[in-house]
Amino acid sequence: MKQYEAMFILKPDLDKPGIDKILGHIQELVTKHEGAITGTREMGKNKLAYPLKKNKEGVYYLINFSITPDAVDGIKKNLVLNESILRMMIVVAEKK
């Protein structure tokens, strides 16, 4: 298994239950592909450089997880369909 970092920008108008639902869905996807989330960090609401889907702000989340490399594409394809996620990026985490 490899270590990955995923950065998400969520819609700024989501309430706490809405954000928890999205984070729960991400955790379900990772565990479904036999991975494990090692950390989640809210990075706060920030102004965007340009509007995304008519939003000028977004709530940033960083999620660290370990999973097999072939499962990452399936997770990306599933999360792209979620309209509450403005942008996302999944990269291999550096080994320290």
Tens digit of each residue's pLDDT (9 = 90 or more) over 41-73: 999 999 999 999 999 999 999 999 999 999 999
For the domain made up of 2-62+84-92, the CATH class stated in words is alpha beta
DSSP alpha helix (H) spans, 1-96:
16-32, 72-80
Confidence of residue 94 (pLDDT cuts 50, 70, 90): confident
Confidence of residue 1 (pLDDT cuts 50, 70, 90): confident
Length of the chain in residues, anyone?
96
Q: Where are the domains of the chain?
A: 2-62+84-92
Question: Buried (b) or exposed (e) across 44-73, using 16+ Cβ within 10 A?
Answer: eeeeeeeeeeeeeebbbbebebebeeebbe
Residue type, 23: L
Single pTM value for the model: 0.88
Percent of the chain clearing pLDDT 90 (strictly above): 95
Q: State the CB neighbour count (10 A cutoff) for residue 76.
A: 14
